[in-house]
Each structure stands twice: as structure tokens, then as C-alpha cells.
Amino acid sequence: MALALPSPAPAQQAPARRSPFSPTTDQTIYPLEKLAAGVYAVLGDTGRGAEGRPNAGFIDTEEGVVVVGGVASPAQGRALVRTIRTVTRRPILWLVLYAHHPDMQFGAIALRDAGAKVIAHPDRQVLAADAGPDAMVADWDRVVGLQEMLGFQYADTPDRPVTGCDTLRLGGKAIVIFHPADAHSAGDLLIWLPVERVLFAGDVLLSDGVTMVVDGSSAALLRTLDAIDSLDARVIVPGHGAIPADPTSLVARTRSYMSDLRSAMLAAVKGGTSMQHAIASLPPPDPDRPVSLASRKRRNAARVYLEVEKEVMGLD
């Protein structure tokens, strides 16, 4: 007997999943850009801000491969391994994580399966994990889709923790991994190649200049930008978006966005303006898009208001 199933009311239907990342399948190979001898950027999406697939990279040394960035899903991690294999058959020795946000580490298991040991900052605390590690995975399933999350396991516990500065010397290359300050998060790591003058900045820099500091602080970001300037990098790979033709201008744009925001929030706090009023002129955050440009600006403003309020009250 055929059953006529009532069609579900719209409210019961799962909302159509926005697809922030370009699709990754079992055959996907990501675009590469060679930055120096043996140094490659694995290019993420461009024009999608922090919502796009993140940038990653790898360094092919005579002893083996060091991968940078844990990408956003096991499927992306497997595609990253396939992409590396178009260039080198050398063993994959290390994976360096820039941060513990899902888009920067949920593909780590695929690199670990391919042989990598993990270098990360041991502080894994991020707001997105406030409801616990299982809830962070469930939330992320909705972002990237279950298909991309098949085979997921956490693999962000460091085999080699870095809280200050550590240099990997491998096959004739020097790879400096350092934590400048809690700018984007307490677990930030930057990867610097001093000979090639290439910096993998992770989400400390985004191509649109609007770094998220909700898990870090504006003061730490400004200090970190000064540290980045002092490196005089030839190439900077941001966490998301296109590699800037002029790395200095991306740092300058980020600094001016964050300094202006600090000044505005400081004036509000000193003038007795409430946070609600201080951020009222900003466009509203996009619903269900916590890292869209408007959402980032709004969330940063609220975070920076609280930060400068503490500074003014001498609680810092």
C-alpha cells in the first residue's frame, strides 16, 4: 500500500545549507603557488573572507615534508595530501597548526593518517568550543556537511608543543614556528621561513584586513603586527583569501582597521557611551554567519569595547 506522506511544513525542513567552501571531492586537487624553492602555498578560496576554505601550505625538504595549516575537514585534509603528492613523494613528517578553530584543524586527522606528527600551541581554548568539543564538531557538521566530515577525529593535541619560539631544521631548511601574542587566539602560531622570507600568518591576517580578535585582543594583535613588520617578509600567506601583492599594505590595512576600532571604542568608554550605543552604527551581524564581514566587525567591536573598558578601569 502506498502511503501518502504529508510534506513537511517549511519550519520542519532543515534549512538549506549554505556552502561557504568550494566543494572538495575524492578527486579534488587544490591550486598551488610556489613561493620559493620547495615552499608552496595551497590556495584556499578567494573573495569569501573568513568564510572561504582556508589557505594552507607545505615545505618540501630533502628529509621530508612539513605541512602548514590543518584545513577545515577530513575531506579537505585528504585533498591536501593528494595535492602535496603532485609535487613530492617524500614522507610527510610534520603538520603545524596555526590555531585551534575548526577551519584550521578539522582536517588534521588526514595528515596524521599520512604520517605527520602535530606541532601546535597547547592552549586549545576557543569560544567556538565553549559548549564542549562534541558540540563544536556538531556545529561544524552543519557548516561543511557530513560528507566532508567523514572519518573525523580530533588530532590537534601537539606531539611537539610550541608556546614561544621553536625552529625546525630539516633537510637544509630552517622553519621558525612562534607564538607572538594572543592576537587571534591563545593558540596562535605563525610559521616563518627566514631564508625565503615567507610568512604563513594563519588568521592573524585575512586578505580583507578584518582579523577576528574575539578569542584574542586588539592590543595583542597590534603587537603582533609590529612583530610581523619587523620580519620584513617578502610573501605573507593570510589565513583566508588571496596572497597580497604587497604584504606590507595588508599589515598596514589591518593595523589601521584595528587602531581605528580601538580609538572609537576608547572614546565611547571614556564618554560614558554604552556598548550597545557604541556599536549601533555598525551593520547588523549576519544571522548564522558568525564570521561574515559584518559579523566579524560587530563581534570585534563588542570584544574591543570590553577590552578597552578594562584598560580604562585599570583592570588590565
Q: Which residues are near Zn ion by CB under 5 A?
A: 103, 203, 239
Nearer CB in complex with Zn ion: 47/172: 47
User: Cβ(152)–Cβ(137) under 8 Å?
Assistant: yes
Beta-carbon contacts of residue 261 (< 8 Å; ≥ 6 apart) = 218, 300, 301, 304
> Can you tell me the distance from the alpha carbon of 148 to that of 140, in angstroms, rounded to the nearest whole number?
10
Nearer CB in complex with Zn ion: 98/305: 98
Nearer CB in complex with Zn ion: 56/308: 56
Nearer CB in complex with Zn ion: 38/239: 239
Cell match 584543524: residue? 105
Cell match 574575539: residue? 214
Which is nearest to 212 in space by CA: 139, 282, 291?
291
State the nearest-atom distance from the C-beta of 87 to Zn ion, in Å.
Answer: 24
Nearer CB in complex with Zn ion: 220/265: 220
User: Cβ(30)–Cβ(43) under 8 Å?
Assistant: yes
Question: How far are the Cα atoms of 49, 72, 142 from residue 16, in angstroms, in the given order?
Answer: 21, 20, 10
State the nearest-atom distance from the C-beta of 274 to Zn ion, in Å.
Answer: 31
Nearer CB in complex with Zn ion: 121/173: 121
**CB under 8 Å, gap of 24 or more: what pairs does 292-296 form?**
292/49, 292/50, 292/51, 293/49, 293/208, 293/210, 296/49, 296/50, 296/210, 296/212
State the nearest-atom distance from the C-beta of 45 to Zn ion, in Å.
Answer: 11
Nearer CB in complex with Zn ion: 116/201: 201
State the nearest-atom distance from the C-beta of 51 to Zn ion, in Å.
Answer: 9
- List beta partners, residue 47: none
Amino acid sitting at position 305: Y
State the nearest-atom distance from the C-beta of 29 to Zn ion, in Å.
Answer: 22
State the nearest-atom distance from the C-beta of 190 to Zn ion, in Å.
Answer: 14
State the nearest-atom distance from the C-beta of 216 to Zn ion, in Å.
Answer: 13
> Can you tell me the distance from the alpha carbon of 167 to that of 268, in angstroms, rounded to the nearest whole number?
43
> Can you tell me the distance from the alpha carbon of 84 to that of 99, in angstroms, rounded to the nearest whole number?
21
